[in-house]
Amino acid sequence: MADLNDKTQDQAKKIVYSALKPTGDLQLGNYIGALKNMVRMQDDYNCVYMVADMHSITVDNVPADLRRRTYDFMALFLAIGLDPEKSILAVQSQVPEHAELAWVLNCYTQFGEASRMTQFKEKSAKAPENVNVGLFAYPTLMAADILLYQTDLVPIGKDQKQHLELARDIAQRFNTKYSPTFVIPDGIYPKQGAKIYNLLDPTAKMGKTDDNTNGVVFLLDDPDTIMRKFKRAVTDCDTDIRYDESKPGISNLITIYSVFTGTPVDAVEREFAGSSYADFKTKVGEAVVEYLRPIQARHHELVTDKKYLEEVMRNGAEKASRIAKRTLSKVYRKVGFVQLP
């Protein structure tokens, strides 16, 4: 897709939006939960994908790291196959309409509903010294991201479902109060792996900023590190390689193996009937290493080419802004802001 404004048959395609925030490095859960679907959807939909850097400053953050990760995320977007010729790839803070719409949506979101957000509660508990207003308003910025593009579909992992539902509620409320303004977006979750768990604590979500990084496999981890993390993965005292909710550790590994080799879960169970947990963990590690090898090689080439990454960012921001402006101007008119002719 060159431009969502093009008067081409592209207009008939549904619109997809998703973003990832550069707080910590990308990990397997991000890939399985969101990035994989984002790549898959490029051919059939008009997609807008962003590095959500404005969301990153809601937690304590080192500016130089944020800057480095923003380039890094864009290079990884390209390395996994997101294509700037097909999709709009941009950095959130470079499209000012996101902050502008977020302010308006803040005024159509109740304090009570924002206080109920699980991630707000979790993050506030984790860093009680920095419960800032931005952290509280995080979901309204996310709603603005989505609603600006009249998005139909949002590929995300399960942990973002509550935020998406809030975005839907805000959109519906605004549409009812004024007149239809926003498309009501639907979440798209992967059939498998909507929630990938930490390898050392298979009851907790794998996260970019988990305290114990030994349970988190980062997309740019080197092969030895990946193998070491899988070999140490926590399982149970059973011996059966069988997907079962009462066996979260082994089930998580089966999901990861299934996704990275394209093998259905029942076939994985058959393939490893009689194998030991130790052998299986090695095989999962090897499958992930092989899958990531070409991605890491492409990332390595791209990440040093800042000029090219900036060109992708600039083009993406221009295209995104052109679309976002239309929604924003509609919203401004409806809430009563004077717009100069």
| Chain residues 22-61 in contact with ligand TYM, contact rule CB under 6 A | 29-30, 32-34, 52, 55
What lies within 8 Å, CB to CB, of 38 at 6+ separation is 16, 18, 47, 49, 82, 155
Q: How far is the CB of 9 from ligand TYM (least distance, A)?
A: 26
Structure tokens at 224: 């030895």
| Cross-sheet strand order for the sheet of 46-51 | 88-91, 46-51, 15-20, 153-155, 186-188
Residue 196 found at the interface with ligand TYM (CB under 6 A): yes
Q: How many CB atoms lie within 10 A of CB 177?
A: 11
- Check if 191 is active-site: no
- Is beta strand 201-205 parallel, antiparallel or unpaired with respect to 197-198? antiparallel
- Is beta strand 88-91 parallel, antiparallel or unpaired with respect to 46-51? parallel
Among residues 1, 4, 15, 17, the one that binds ligand TYM under rule CB under 6 A = 17
Residue 146 found at the interface with ligand TYM (CB under 6 A): yes
Q: How far is the CB of 276 from ligand TYM (least distance, A)?
A: 26
Full DSSP string of 176-221:
HHSSS-S---EEE--SS-SSPEETTEEEEE--TT-S-GGG--BTT-
Whether residue 84 contacts residue 312, with contact meaning beta carbons closer than 8 Å, is answered with yes
Our CB check for ligand TYM shows the closer of 109 and 273 to be 109
Given the residues 208, 229, 247, 281, select the one marked as catalytic: 208
Site string for ligand TYM, 159-188 (x = CB under 6 A): xx----------------------------
Rg (CA), the chain: 21
Residue 281 found at the interface with ligand TYM (CB under 6 A): no
Our CB check for ligand TYM shows the closer of 72 and 145 to be 145
Given the residues 21, 123, 195, 319, select the one marked as catalytic: 123
Q: How far is the CB of 207 from ligand TYM (least distance, A)?
A: 6
Whether residue 170 contacts residue 109, with contact meaning beta carbons closer than 8 Å, is answered with yes
Q: How far is the CB of 117 from ligand TYM (least distance, A)?
A: 11
Q: Which residues are catalytic?
A: 123, 205, 208
Residues binding ligand TYM (CB under 6 A) = 17-21, 29-30, 32-34, 52, 55, 142, 145-146, 154, 156-157, 159-160, 194-196, 205-207
